[in-house]
Amino acid sequence: MGGCTSTTAAEDPAAPTASTSQRKWTRNSKKRADFQLAFLGLDQGGKTSLIHSLVYSQHYSSDAASDGGTSGAPGGETAASGAAPAPSSSDEPAASVGRAIVPPPTSTILSNVVLIEDERIELIDLPGDPKERRRWEEVVDCATGVVFVVDSADPMRIPVAKRELWNMVNRLRDKCLPTLVLANKQDVDRAMDVHNVAGALDLLSLRSLTDPAPITVRASSMFNPTDTKQALKWLLTAVVSLASLKKAEGEMDDLADF
Protein backbone atom coordinates (compact mmCIF):
# COMPACT_ATOMS: atom_id res chain seq x y z
CA MET A 1 0.00 0.00 0.00
CA GLY A 2 3.01 2.25 0.24
CA GLY A 3 3.69 4.85 2.89
CA CYS A 4 0.51 6.28 4.36
CA THR A 5 0.96 8.76 7.15
CA SER A 6 1.88 12.37 7.73
CA THR A 7 4.30 15.28 7.53
CA THR A 8 5.31 17.57 10.37
CA ALA A 9 4.28 21.20 10.44
CA ALA A 10 7.92 22.13 9.83
CA GLU A 11 7.94 20.02 6.66
CA ASP A 12 4.62 21.51 5.54
CA PRO A 13 4.12 25.15 6.54
CA ALA A 14 0.41 24.83 5.78
CA ALA A 15 -0.07 22.13 8.40
CA PRO A 16 -1.88 23.16 11.59
CA THR A 17 0.16 23.22 14.78
CA ALA A 18 -2.35 22.08 17.37
CA SER A 19 0.12 20.04 19.39
CA THR A 20 3.45 18.32 19.12
CA SER A 21 1.66 15.10 18.18
CA GLN A 22 -0.58 16.57 15.48
CA ARG A 23 0.43 16.48 11.82
CA LYS A 24 -1.15 17.04 8.47
CA TRP A 25 -1.81 13.58 7.00
CA THR A 26 -0.40 12.70 3.59
CA ARG A 27 -0.37 9.38 1.80
CA ASN A 28 3.37 9.28 1.13
CA SER A 29 4.92 10.09 4.51
CA LYS A 30 6.72 7.67 6.77
CA LYS A 31 4.82 5.45 9.17
CA ARG A 32 4.15 6.98 12.61
CA ALA A 33 2.53 4.10 14.53
CA ASP A 34 1.74 0.40 14.54
CA PHE A 35 -1.99 1.00 14.12
CA GLN A 36 -3.74 3.55 11.91
CA LEU A 37 -7.38 4.27 12.75
CA ALA A 38 -9.42 6.35 10.30
CA PHE A 39 -12.05 8.54 12.01
CA LEU A 40 -14.98 9.04 9.63
CA GLY A 41 -18.43 10.57 9.99
CA LEU A 42 -20.57 13.52 9.00
CA ASP A 43 -19.47 17.08 9.62
CA GLN A 44 -20.31 18.40 13.12
CA GLY A 45 -20.43 14.85 14.45
CA GLY A 46 -17.65 15.47 16.99
CA LYS A 47 -14.76 13.47 15.50
CA THR A 48 -12.13 16.14 16.10
CA SER A 49 -13.35 16.84 19.64
CA LEU A 50 -13.17 13.14 20.53
CA ILE A 51 -9.60 12.90 19.27
CA HIS A 52 -8.56 16.03 21.13
CA SER A 53 -10.11 14.76 24.35
CA LEU A 54 -7.99 11.60 24.04
CA VAL A 55 -4.82 13.56 23.29
CA TYR A 56 -5.30 16.09 26.08
CA SER A 57 -6.35 13.56 28.71
CA GLN A 58 -3.21 11.55 27.97
CA HIS A 59 -1.06 14.65 28.39
CA TYR A 60 -2.52 15.69 31.73
CA SER A 61 -2.38 12.12 33.05
CA SER A 62 1.30 11.95 32.09
CA ASP A 63 2.02 15.26 33.82
CA ALA A 64 0.19 14.21 36.97
CA ALA A 65 2.09 10.94 37.14
CA SER A 66 5.46 12.69 36.73
CA ASP A 67 5.00 15.44 39.33
CA GLY A 68 2.46 14.09 41.77
CA GLY A 69 -0.50 15.73 40.05
CA THR A 70 0.59 19.35 40.54
CA SER A 71 1.09 20.30 36.89
CA GLY A 72 -1.15 20.30 33.86
CA ALA A 73 -4.63 21.73 33.85
CA PRO A 74 -5.87 24.02 36.59
CA GLY A 75 -7.55 22.54 39.60
CA GLY A 76 -5.77 19.21 39.36
CA GLU A 77 -7.35 18.33 36.02
CA THR A 78 -5.36 15.95 34.10
CA ALA A 79 -4.55 16.43 30.01
CA ALA A 80 -1.30 14.81 25.78
CA SER A 81 2.37 14.98 26.13
CA GLY A 82 3.77 18.26 24.93
CA ALA A 83 0.39 19.45 23.71
CA ALA A 84 -0.06 23.11 22.98
CA PRO A 85 -3.45 24.85 22.87
CA ALA A 86 -6.06 23.31 20.61
CA PRO A 87 -5.91 24.38 16.96
CA SER A 88 -7.42 27.73 16.22
CA SER A 89 -7.36 30.50 13.68
CA SER A 90 -8.55 34.07 13.51
CA ASP A 91 -11.59 32.85 11.55
CA GLU A 92 -12.51 29.81 13.62
CA PRO A 93 -11.19 30.11 17.18
CA ALA A 94 -11.24 27.08 19.42
CA ALA A 95 -13.84 27.21 22.18
CA SER A 96 -13.73 25.93 25.72
CA VAL A 97 -16.79 23.95 26.82
CA GLY A 98 -16.80 22.78 30.43
CA ARG A 99 -13.45 21.08 30.96
CA ALA A 100 -12.86 20.24 27.32
CA ILE A 101 -11.35 22.17 24.43
CA VAL A 102 -13.60 22.20 21.37
CA PRO A 103 -11.46 22.63 18.24
CA PRO A 104 -12.81 24.18 15.04
CA PRO A 105 -14.24 21.81 12.40
CA THR A 106 -11.65 19.90 10.43
CA SER A 107 -10.99 21.24 6.93
CA THR A 108 -8.00 19.03 6.17
CA ILE A 109 -6.88 15.50 7.07
CA LEU A 110 -5.02 15.57 10.39
CA SER A 111 -3.16 12.91 12.35
CA ASN A 112 -2.48 12.55 16.08
CA VAL A 113 -0.60 9.74 17.82
CA VAL A 114 -1.64 8.47 21.26
CA LEU A 115 -0.55 5.58 23.45
CA ILE A 116 -3.08 2.90 24.33
CA GLU A 117 -1.72 0.01 26.42
CA ASP A 118 1.82 0.86 25.28
CA GLU A 119 0.84 0.73 21.61
CA ARG A 120 1.33 3.79 19.39
CA ILE A 121 -1.98 4.51 17.70
CA GLU A 122 -2.35 6.99 14.87
CA LEU A 123 -5.77 8.66 14.86
CA ILE A 124 -6.49 10.06 11.39
CA ASP A 125 -9.17 12.75 11.45
CA LEU A 126 -11.04 13.15 8.17
CA PRO A 127 -13.35 16.03 7.22
CA GLY A 128 -17.03 15.08 7.09
CA ASP A 129 -18.16 17.79 4.71
CA PRO A 130 -20.03 16.31 1.71
CA LYS A 131 -17.40 17.57 -0.73
CA GLU A 132 -14.63 15.91 1.29
CA ARG A 133 -16.20 12.48 1.84
CA ARG A 134 -14.83 11.24 -1.48
CA ARG A 135 -11.39 11.29 0.18
CA TRP A 136 -12.40 8.76 2.83
CA GLU A 137 -11.55 5.80 0.61
CA GLU A 138 -8.00 7.04 0.04
CA VAL A 139 -7.31 7.15 3.78
CA VAL A 140 -9.16 3.96 4.71
CA ASP A 141 -7.00 2.17 2.14
CA CYS A 142 -4.06 2.97 4.44
CA ALA A 143 -5.81 2.18 7.72
CA THR A 144 -5.88 -0.89 9.95
CA GLY A 145 -9.30 -0.04 11.43
CA VAL A 146 -12.22 2.34 10.99
CA VAL A 147 -13.98 4.53 13.57
CA PHE A 148 -17.31 5.89 12.32
CA VAL A 149 -18.60 8.70 14.54
CA VAL A 150 -22.35 9.36 14.66
CA ASP A 151 -23.97 12.40 16.26
CA SER A 152 -26.55 10.60 18.40
CA ALA A 153 -28.04 13.95 19.45
CA ASP A 154 -29.07 14.76 15.86
CA PRO A 155 -31.60 12.08 14.81
CA MET A 156 -32.55 14.04 11.68
CA ARG A 157 -29.11 13.27 10.19
CA ILE A 158 -28.95 9.62 11.21
CA PRO A 159 -30.31 8.49 7.79
CA VAL A 160 -27.50 10.40 6.08
CA ALA A 161 -24.96 8.81 8.43
CA LYS A 162 -26.43 5.39 7.66
CA ARG A 163 -26.14 5.99 3.93
CA GLU A 164 -22.50 7.09 4.19
CA LEU A 165 -21.58 4.19 6.49
CA TRP A 166 -23.18 1.61 4.21
CA ASN A 167 -21.62 3.19 1.10
CA MET A 168 -18.19 3.12 2.74
CA VAL A 169 -18.53 -0.54 3.76
CA ASN A 170 -19.73 -1.53 0.28
CA ARG A 171 -16.89 0.27 -1.49
CA LEU A 172 -14.24 -1.18 0.81
CA ARG A 173 -15.48 -4.74 1.35
CA ASP A 174 -12.23 -6.14 -0.03
CA LYS A 175 -10.26 -4.32 2.67
CA CYS A 176 -12.11 -6.29 5.38
CA LEU A 177 -11.45 -3.78 8.18
CA PRO A 178 -12.88 -3.98 11.70
CA THR A 179 -15.23 -1.05 12.26
CA LEU A 180 -16.16 0.73 15.48
CA VAL A 181 -19.25 2.94 15.41
CA LEU A 182 -19.28 5.57 18.14
CA ALA A 183 -22.70 6.87 19.23
CA ASN A 184 -21.26 10.24 20.13
CA LYS A 185 -22.48 13.17 22.26
CA GLN A 186 -23.99 10.93 24.90
CA ASP A 187 -23.61 13.85 27.32
CA VAL A 188 -26.52 15.58 25.54
CA ASP A 189 -29.91 14.91 27.15
CA ARG A 190 -31.70 14.27 23.86
CA ALA A 191 -29.08 11.82 22.55
CA MET A 192 -30.26 8.45 21.24
CA ASP A 193 -28.89 5.53 23.23
CA VAL A 194 -26.53 2.96 21.75
CA HIS A 195 -29.26 0.41 20.98
CA ASN A 196 -31.39 2.95 19.12
CA VAL A 197 -28.39 4.16 17.12
CA ALA A 198 -27.52 0.56 16.17
CA GLY A 199 -31.10 -0.03 15.06
CA ALA A 200 -31.28 3.21 13.07
CA LEU A 201 -28.07 2.29 11.24
CA ASP A 202 -29.27 -1.32 10.76
CA LEU A 203 -25.93 -2.64 11.97
CA LEU A 204 -27.29 -6.18 12.28
CA SER A 205 -27.77 -6.35 8.51
CA LEU A 206 -24.50 -4.52 7.87
CA ARG A 207 -22.58 -7.28 9.66
CA SER A 208 -23.32 -9.61 6.76
CA LEU A 209 -21.33 -7.27 4.52
CA THR A 210 -18.38 -6.75 6.87
CA ASP A 211 -17.93 -10.43 7.85
CA PRO A 212 -15.40 -11.71 8.86
CA ALA A 213 -14.38 -8.22 10.00
CA PRO A 214 -16.43 -7.33 13.10
CA ILE A 215 -18.48 -4.17 13.53
CA THR A 216 -19.92 -2.88 16.79
CA VAL A 217 -21.30 0.30 18.35
CA ARG A 218 -20.22 1.95 21.61
CA ALA A 219 -21.19 5.10 23.47
CA SER A 220 -18.85 8.11 23.46
CA SER A 221 -18.58 11.71 24.61
CA MET A 222 -15.82 14.28 24.41
CA PHE A 223 -16.22 14.67 28.17
CA ASN A 224 -15.46 10.99 28.82
CA PRO A 225 -12.21 10.00 27.06
CA THR A 226 -11.98 6.88 29.26
CA ASP A 227 -15.02 5.34 27.55
CA THR A 228 -13.64 6.30 24.15
CA LYS A 229 -10.33 4.66 24.97
CA GLN A 230 -12.08 1.47 26.10
CA ALA A 231 -13.97 1.39 22.79
CA LEU A 232 -10.71 1.82 20.88
CA LYS A 233 -9.22 -1.08 22.83
CA TRP A 234 -12.01 -3.26 21.43
CA LEU A 235 -11.11 -2.11 17.93
CA LEU A 236 -7.40 -2.82 18.41
CA THR A 237 -8.19 -6.31 19.71
CA ALA A 238 -10.42 -6.88 16.68
CA VAL A 239 -7.63 -5.76 14.32
CA VAL A 240 -5.12 -8.16 15.90
CA SER A 241 -7.60 -11.06 15.98
CA LEU A 242 -8.56 -10.59 12.34
CA ALA A 243 -4.90 -10.45 11.31
CA SER A 244 -4.28 -13.73 13.16
CA LEU A 245 -7.29 -15.30 11.44
CA LYS A 246 -6.07 -14.23 8.01
CA LYS A 247 -2.59 -15.58 8.78
CA ALA A 248 -4.01 -18.93 9.89
CA GLU A 249 -6.17 -19.15 6.76
CA GLY A 250 -3.13 -18.37 4.63
CA GLU A 251 -1.15 -21.13 6.28
CA MET A 252 -4.00 -23.59 5.73
CA ASP A 253 -4.10 -22.61 2.05
CA ASP A 254 -0.34 -23.19 1.77
CA LEU A 255 -0.71 -26.66 3.31
CA ALA A 256 -3.53 -27.48 0.92
CA ASP A 257 -1.24 -26.73 -2.02
CA PHE A 258 1.13 -29.54 -1.06
Task: Give yes or no for a contact between 207 and 171, defined as CB atoms under 8 angstroms apart.
Answer: no
Determine how many CB atoms are found less than 10 A away from the CB of residue 181. Answer: 26
β-sheet bridge partners, residue 57: none
Annotated binding residue 58: no
Query: What residues contact residue 91 under an 8 Å CB cut-off, 6+ apart?
Result: none
Annotated binding residue 229: no
Q: Report the C-alpha gap between 145 and 34 in whole angstroms.
A: 11
Annotated binding residue 106: yes
Annotated binding residue 45: yes
Annotated binding residue 184: yes
Reported as type and span, the H/E element at residue 215 is strand 215-219
DSSP one-letter code for 211: T
Q: Report the C-alpha gap between 155 and 53 in whole angstroms.
A: 24
Annotated binding residue 201: no
Annotated binding residue 112: no
Annotated binding residue 48: yes
Annotated binding residue 31: no
Annotated binding residue 43: yes
Going by the annotation, the residues of the binding site for Mg(2+) are 48, 106
Going by the annotation, the residues of the binding site are 41-48, 106, 128, 184-187
Going by the annotation, the residues of the binding site for GTP are 41-48, 128, 184-187
